[in-house]
């Protein structure tokens, strides 16, 4: 089997897409931009709009990857910052629904701390909570948990 530029680009794009679930933030964006650049460059070759000259193909791949990275950077950063839900570890997902009494003011904008199960946890209000702050001494329920971090909601009676 002969590997030409078109099939090499398609293979590169598929490998980048296959590695996305295992990539850490920062590398994820690069892989996605590279996959898009490779697919678009392969499409340009396929339709005959770009000759199969190695230097032109590499230049096109580099330019399209950079363009993709620039266009995707802001939406991906915004998506990462919202973080509606934390990824729950199976060992601590049993905490969800547990009632706590706040020892510090809890807000959506900054972390507070609480002693729970013999450890100090960072606490923040769940983004879906209507209130922006909950005073110390109030009862709350854990809505999501991650290692060392709890999202809480006001306990509804």
User: Are 70 and 111 members of one domain?
Assistant: no
User: Are 105 and 149 members of one domain?
Assistant: yes
The CATH number given to whatever domain includes residue 118 is: 2.40.50.140
Q: 37, 56, 82: which is the final residue of a domain? A: 82
Contacts of 37 (CB under 8 A, 6+ apart): 61, 62, 63, 64, 65, 66, 67, 68
Q: Residue 124 CB: number of other CB atoms within 10 A?
A: 19
**How far is residue 2 CA from its own chain's centroid?**
38
User: Are 66 and 18 members of one domain?
Assistant: yes
Give CA–CA dist 77/65, Å, rounded.
17
Query: Which residue range(s) make up the domain with 148?
Result: 93-154
Tens place of pLDDT for every residue, the chain, 157 residues?
567 899 999 999 999 999 988 888 778 889 999 999 999 999 999 999 999 899 999 999 999 999 999 998 888 777 766 554 545 454 456 788 889 999 999 988 888 999 888 888 999 998 888 888 889 988 999 888 887 888 899 887 6
pTM over 0.85, yes/no? no
User: Are 97 and 118 members of one domain?
Assistant: yes
Residue found under tokens 């923040």 = 124
Give CA–CA dist 128/2, Å, rounded.
54
User: Are 61 and 113 members of one domain?
Assistant: no
């Amino acid at each position: 089997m002969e590997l030409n530029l078109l099939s090499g680009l398609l293979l590169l794009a598929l490998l980048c897409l296959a590695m996305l679930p295992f990539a850490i933030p920062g590398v994820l964006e690069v892989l996605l931009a590279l996959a898009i650049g490779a697919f678009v460059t392969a499409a340009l070759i396929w339709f005959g709009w770009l000759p199969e000259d190695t230097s032109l193909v590499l230049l096109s791949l580099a330019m399209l990857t950079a363009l993709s990275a620039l266009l995707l950077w802001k939406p991906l950063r915004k998506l990462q910052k919202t973080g509606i839900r934390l990824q729950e570890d199976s060992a601590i997902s049993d905490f969800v629904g547990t009632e706590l009494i706040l020892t510090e003011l809890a807000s959506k904008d900054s972390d507070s701390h609480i002693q729970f199960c013999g450890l100090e946890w960072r606490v923040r209000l769940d983004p879906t909570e209507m209130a922006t702050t909950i005073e110390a001494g109030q009862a709350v329920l854990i809505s999501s948990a991650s290692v060392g971090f709890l999202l809480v909601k006001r306990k509804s009676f």
